[in-house]
């Protein structure tokens, strides 16, 4: 069996879902069918709630906070506004994300219309993002084909051979702990301009894609016959940008920055942070072409809670992410319920990819690969599947040998 690549390197074995055994159909049959049914009315209710909450917050800012004369109180109230409106924008982004997956409703025209309008208002090219995000879901945790936060491989003999053959590989000569300044710089860049850079030049994407822009009608992200969607997305962004410029002229740039730009920046920060945390951890495996399978990649994602209030505001995108990766068109409001109400089936099926609740006692024999992360979990809420230790061949470095877990 080929060796799964685990990046970055860790000191303990990481359980890996075997290629043969558990199938997507096994998981789907264990979940009540009604949880896959989408309700346009229910989705529109969530959209309206977000719009009303955002509208009320904006009204408070315009008609109350703007009239406060004390500078300290003024900025304290605006800080509270940003703390509320940033997650509200993020929640709207999540609903447009659901539209891109077809999870908002059964009607493609409704999904694409809502997704296009909401994402355009959040400065996102809907169709191009939908295409790149679809690729991410298709190649999750693939070392050369996944989209966000693709890790680099250690430049060993195999990587050198791949590079000599002209294969695009993200590689580094050595792995060492970065300095505090280097880490701080990376975090600041990621949290401020990381999302615009990803849209503009595919920053953090795979080496195979090179420089790919979500705004380029000739982008390889979409088929040539669908390039009109990129033009349409760009046209919407131009119209919205013009509206923002007009608002700056009519009401003042400072007011637009306070009420729209800063909440949008917070939304972008949440998007990058959430995606990073869902797909990045020393114990999360990434696979090369020989060892990757779709289900292996899908279960090697991480659920994390942001706390009750932020989980509510972001429609539980962080604490139901593994379910979402396996069943992307399942409506978001059922994603948490699916594992809780799953029926007991295939109890002897091997399901091992660090699949346990980090905050609970793992099943007998399971290796708690993520136990040290008090807020991290993966698909272990499907407690109807009994986990057993399996023999994995996760290579730690070129000099180490496979380890049994």
Instruction: State the pLDDT at residue 366.
Output: 28
Instruction: State the pLDDT at residue 22.
Output: 67
Judge whether residue 201 has pLDDT over 80: yes
Q: Is the model more confident about 170 or about 35?
A: 35
Instruction: State the pLDDT at residue 379.
Output: 30
Is 310 part of any domain?
no
Judge whether residue 282 has pLDDT over 80: no
Cβ burial of 346 (10 Å; 0-12, 13-18, 19+) is: middle
Instruction: State the pLDDT at residue 370.
Output: 28
Is 90 part of any domain?
yes
Is 338 part of any domain?
no
Residue 338 pLDDT class (50, 70, 90 cuts): confident
Is 7 part of any domain?
no
DSSP letter, residue 66: G
Range with lowest mean pLDDT among 13-22, 196-205, 224-233: 13-22
Our count of domains for the chain comes to 1
Is 135 part of any domain?
yes
Pairing assessment for the beta strands 376-377 and 153-154 based on DSSP bridges: unpaired
Residue 57 lies in domain: 38-279
Instruction: State the pLDDT at residue 324.
Output: 92
In this predicted model, what pLDDT tens digit does every residue of 88-145 receive, in sequence order?
Answer: 999 999 999 999 999 999 999 999 999 999 999 999 999 999 999 999 999 988 887 8
Instruction: State the pLDDT at residue 400.
Output: 27
Question: Residue 396's closest CA among 127, 23, 7?
Answer: 7
Is 371 part of any domain?
no
Is 403 part of any domain?
no
The tokens describing 332, both together, are: 């978001």
Cβ burial of 194 (10 Å; 0-12, 13-18, 19+) is: buried
Is 306 part of any domain?
no
Alpha carbons within 13 angstroms on the beta-carbon side of residue 396 total 11
Tell me what the pLDDT averaged over the chain comes to: 77
Query: SS3 of 95, please?
Result: helix
């Amino acid at each position: 069996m080929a060796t799964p690549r685990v990046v970055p390197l860790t000191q303990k074995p990481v359980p890996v879902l075997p290629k043969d055994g558990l199938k997507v159909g096994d998981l789907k049959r264990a979940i009540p069918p009604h949880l896959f049914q989408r309700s346009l009315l229910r989705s529109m209710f969530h959209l309206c709630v977000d719009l009303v909450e955002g509208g009320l917050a904006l009204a408070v800012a315009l008609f109350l906070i703007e009239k406060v004369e004390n500078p300290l109180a003024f900025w304290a109230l605006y800080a509270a506004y940003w703390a509320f409106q940033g997650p509200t924008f993020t929640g709207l982004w999540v609903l447009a994300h659901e539209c891109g997956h077809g999870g908002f409703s059964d009607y493609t025209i409704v999904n694409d219309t809502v997704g296009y309008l909401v994402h355009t208002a959040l400065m996102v090219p809907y169709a191009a993002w939908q295409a790149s995000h679809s690729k991410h879901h298709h190649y999750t945790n693939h070392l050369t084909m996944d989209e966000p936060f693709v890790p680099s491989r250690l430049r060993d003999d195999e990587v050198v051979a791949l590079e000599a053959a002209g294969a695009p590989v993200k590689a580094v000569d050595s792995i060492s702990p970065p300095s505090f300044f280097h880490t701080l710089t990376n975090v600041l860049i990621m949290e401020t301009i990381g999302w615009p850079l990803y849209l503009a030049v595919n920053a953090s994407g795979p080496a195979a894609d090179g420089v790919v822009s979500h705004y380029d009608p000739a982008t390889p992200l979409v088929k040539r016959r669908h390039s009109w969607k990129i033009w349409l997305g760009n046209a919407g962004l131009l119209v919205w940008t013009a509206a923002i410029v007009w608002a700056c002229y009519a009401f003042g740039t400072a007011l637009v920055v306070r009420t729209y730009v800063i909440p949008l920046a917070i939304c972008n920060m949440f998007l990058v942070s959430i995606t990073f945390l869902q797909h990045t951890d020393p114990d999360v495996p990434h696979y090369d072409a020989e060892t990757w399978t779709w289900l292996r990649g899908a279960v090697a994602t991480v659920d994390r809670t942001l706390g009750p209030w932020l989980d509510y505001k972001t429609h539980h995108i962080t604490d139901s992410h593994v379910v979402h990766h396996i069943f992307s068109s399942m409506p978001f409001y059922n994603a948490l319920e699916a594992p809780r109400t799953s029926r007991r089936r295939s109890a002897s099926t091997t399901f091992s990819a660090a699949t346990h609740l980090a905050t609970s006692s793992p099943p007998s024999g399971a290796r708690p690969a993520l136990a040290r992360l008090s807020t991290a979990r993966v698909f272990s809420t499907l407690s109807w599947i009994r986990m057993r230790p399996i023999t994995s061949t996760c290579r730690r470095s070129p000099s180490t040998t496979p380890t049994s877990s």
